[in-house]
Structure 1
Amino acid sequence: MLTEKLAVSAIAAFGNGAADPSQLGRTAGLKVGYEEGYLRGRASVIIQQERPPFPVRNLKILYVGSGKGFPYAPIDEAISATLQTLVSELFIYEQGQVLSDLVTGLRPDLVLVLDGMEMPTEQIDAVRAKGIPTAVWLTDDPYYTDITVSLASHYDYVFTLERNCVDLYSNAGCAHVHYLPFAAYTEHYRPTLSRSPVRRNLSFIGSAYWNRVQFLQPIIGELIAHGLMINGIWWDRLPEYPQFQDHIELGKWMGPAETAEVYSGTKIILNLHRSPFEETVNNNTAGILAVSPNPRTFEISACGTLQLVDARDDLALFYTPGKEIETFSSPEELLLKIQFYLTHEQERREIALRALERTYRDHTYSNRLDELLRYIFG
């Protein structure tokens, strides 16, 4: 699209006595190609940069995945693959095994459970009765806290990706509660270093929760005009869906590889958090406000693209707004920033690259799991 705009400008200039429009169009194309190559080249340098290794601890860990399948399976893969690089022995629990019998033979130093909703708490109690520490990393706080607040008390250590849930679990009797957001698994989420087959101005990947529909509806026509493409379920809720359905891929769950390809091939990715107060899909009767960034925040930034995300209080702990990420608080502000960054390539590119560098340095699963192990084992 940028090539077309530059070519149109070139033709207009030719009409005023400038050079041959074919030559100017070629120049415009070369400029776009240079900018694309420059971005990919610098991204390549960032992701290949050597970083200090994380310590490998002499620990035996038993990892219990979520048991929920997709979309949790990629997180299970990220955690288990990363743990293999951080501990001396890793064992993976398989569905159908009796956890208490398994730990009797293995005698692990820790049983780490993701999510915990599929693991009966009596099995966790039996493991603890054998003197083996247990930990749970909760995946969906604060959206299902009616359920998680009761299961969390069965674990020795509770890790939550929502800062506002720390007091909830502490007040429920959990002795060790720690704030630990998810991260980017860089084997899944990384820039496309060659020319991406995806070429978009704007993308949004995610479900059409009602707060997202209500936020985007006033400006949906203008977003579509700027090239917005949407992938996700429930977007037929949008009143304008029949008008814009050729810009909406409805009902599709995208895996990490395809998602990363879209992220990397899009100039601006929109990230609009779901609401913690939507009663039809949440179990959060305590009304806990969400202030922490979602996992998508880190995954987008790991793909070397500019992210526009609705402002959350904790965001600045992870990325510097205006330098490594851009935020918005209203549909009007979102639209203004889209218009700016689609016409200011250098500014867009530099924020994207700084976010990429920050993510690879501070926000990988190696960072998070090293922090988890330090919290438990010192």
Structure 2
Amino acid sequence: MITNGIPEIAYSPDGGGAGGHPSALKGREEGLRDGFYEGYLRGRSKVIAGAPRPQFPARQVRVLYVGSGKGFPYSPIDEAVIATLRQMTAETIICEPGVPLAELAASTRPDLLLVLDGMDLPLEQVDAVRAGGTRTAVWLTDDPYYTDITMTMVPHYDYVFTLERNCIDLYRSLGCANVHYLPFAAYPEHYRPTVTQAPVRRTVGFIGSAYWNRVQFFQPIIGQLMNRGLTINGIWWDRLPEYPAYTDRIDLGKWMGPAETAEVYGSTKIIINLHRSPFEETANKNSAGITGVSPNPRTFEIAASGTLQLVDARGDLASFYTPGMEIETFTTAEELIGKIDFYLTHEKERQEIVFRALQRTYRDHMYSNRIDELLRVIFG
């Protein structure tokens, strides 16, 4: 019998009937419920991801795109931007730092030079392209963590796009007239819901490097998290004093590509998203002390993968997702544990947030949305 969309099994008073012993019946009922929820999650996620998405105009412009040149983990961003540009421009010419840029621009005559990251690109080459009459733009990848470097770069570009809202005023104070807020997004060829049941199903997961603020946050509650099924993937997690006790649950020293990351997201009920600190001196170059209020790229990638995300609350997160409806947040370790416990025992509520996040992401937070905004800012 199905009640309110949930399968039920009737118990007989003598413990017999459909399944025999009451404990066996209870186990069968829980299995049916899990199977129903799993199938419903996969089926509805497939429908949402397959629904028509907003269409954007292809502009008759030629773009010379300079990739980050840094390899993984930046290369998937390059792949997403390049593929999207090719769909939305008349021509996209690809190169990396090290190419004689002024000569290439002179021979291809692009309408725009677009640089991702730009930290390895000699600025005199940007100046030469700009002097030749080509519009220049940089899309910064790591704000606000390396502002000591980016502050020296941005005055060399006509347009500056940053994924951190708090960097806008900083760059404008340096004389940059066209500074725009443009976070990254999800690329559906990399991050999309898993439509078949995963071979390994997880309850709680975290993917990311062990920056010290993350180690300090997790350490007091690591036992509680492990008791709830936590698995961790990322580098440096041997910094965690308790690491030797959980070597079977912490996949150490491995960079995961988009396909593997998306598979883990899709097979995990709850993914924790804890931003790195902008004040960690050993990893950052941010002597200006710029704080972070904007969501990281993982925010959009997790949401696009069809799983529930618990993210540390950031000031500008509500510009992208409605907390409590399309995403869940936490501010303390106790709140994180409490919400994990709630959503591990309230599958319907968990899935409803997953579906709303997925729908919002596929509508508003794809790379096509971002590239359209970038081109609209520059070309109208």
Structure 2 counterpart of 1:121, from 102, 120, 123: 123
Cα 1:94–1:288, aligned 2, differ >3 Å: closer, same or farther?
Answer: closer
Structure 2 counterpart of 1:99, from 98, 101, 105: 101
TM-score normalised over the length of structure 2: 0.94
Contact kept? 1:198, 1:261, Cα under 8 Å: no
Q: 2:68 corresponds to which letter in structure 1?
A: S
Query: What does residue 154 of structure 2 align with?
Result: 152
Q: 1:279 corresponds to which letter in structure 2?
A: E
Counterparts of 1:234 and 1:287, CA distance in 2: 24
Structure 1 counterpart of 2:323, from 316, 321, 324: 321
Matched, 1:293 2:295: yes
Query: What does residue 277 of structure 1 align with?
Result: 279
Counterparts of 1:310 and 1:128, CA distance in 2: 40
Contact kept? 1:144, 1:282, Cα under 8 Å: yes
Query: What does residue 304 of structure 2 align with?
Result: 302
Query: What does residue 138 of structure 1 align with?
Result: 140
Contact kept? 1:268, 1:307, Cα under 8 Å: yes
Query: What does residue 378 of structure 2 align with?
Result: 376
Query: What does residue 201 of structure 1 align with?
Result: 203
Counterparts of 2:306 and 2:42, CA distance in 1: 8
Query: What does residue 83 of structure 2 align with?
Result: 81
Larger mean Cα displacement after TM superposition, 254-263 or 235-244: 235-244
- By how many angstroms is 1:14 displaced? 9.9
Structure 2 counterpart of 1:334, from 308, 312, 336: 336
TM-score normalised over the length of structure 1: 0.95
- By how many angstroms is 1:95 displaced? 4.8
State the Cα deviation string for residues 209-268 of structure 1 (Å, max 9, x = none): 110011111111000000000000111111111112211010010000000000010000
Q: 1:214 corresponds to which letter in structure 2?
A: Q
Matched, 1:251 2:270: no
Query: Among the aligned pairs, what percent are the same residue?
Result: 69
State the Cα deviation string for residues 281-329 of structure 1 (Å, max 9, x = none): 1000010010000000000000010000000000000000000000000
Report how many aligned residue pairs link the two structures. Answer: 367
Query: What does residue 214 of structure 1 align with?
Result: 216
Q: 2:252 corresponds to which letter in structure 1?
A: L
- By how many angstroms is 1:70 displaced? 0.5
Structure 2 counterpart of 1:67, from 69, 86, 89: 69
Cα 1:277–1:52, aligned 2, differ >3 Å: closer, same or farther?
Answer: closer
Correspondences of 1:170-185 after superposition (within 5 Å): 170-185=172-187
Secondary structure at 1:289 match in 2: coil
State the Cα deviation string for residues 97-153 of structure 1 (Å, max 9, x = none): 200000101110001000001110000000001000000000000000000011111
Secondary structure at 1:84 match in 2: helix
State the Cα deviation string for residues 84-105 of structure 1 (Å, max 9, x = none): 1111111101454200000101
Query: What does residue 231 of structure 2 align with?
Result: 229
Counterparts of 1:107 and 1:133, CA distance in 2: 11
State the Cα deviation string for residues 320-362 of structure 1 (Å, max 9, x = none): 0000000000000000000000000000010011100000000
Moved over 3 A (4+): 13-19, 21-24
Counterparts of 1:314 and 1:243, CA distance in 2: 37
Counterparts of 1:62 and 1:16, CA distance in 2: 76
Counterparts of 2:248 and 2:68, CA distance in 1: 35
Contact kept? 2:68, 2:97, Cα under 8 Å: no
Counterparts of 2:85 and 2:212, CA distance in 1: 37
Q: 2:278 corresponds to which letter in structure 1?
A: P
Cα 1:348–1:124, aligned 2, differ >3 Å: closer, same or farther?
Answer: same
Query: What does residue 188 of structure 2 align with?
Result: 186
Secondary structure at 2:45 match in 1: helix
Q: Which runs of 5+ in 1 are unaligned?
A: 1-9
Contact kept? 2:304, 2:357, Cα under 8 Å: yes
Q: 1:198 corresponds to which letter in structure 2?
A: V
Counterparts of 2:30 and 2:252, CA distance in 1: 35
Query: What does residue 55 of structure 1 align with?
Result: 57
- By how many angstroms is 1:27 displaced? 3.1
Secondary structure at 2:248 match in 1: helix
Q: Which runs of 5+ in 2 are unaligned?
A: 1-8
Q: 1:292 corresponds to which letter in structure 2?
A: S
Counterparts of 2:108 and 2:161, CA distance in 1: 24
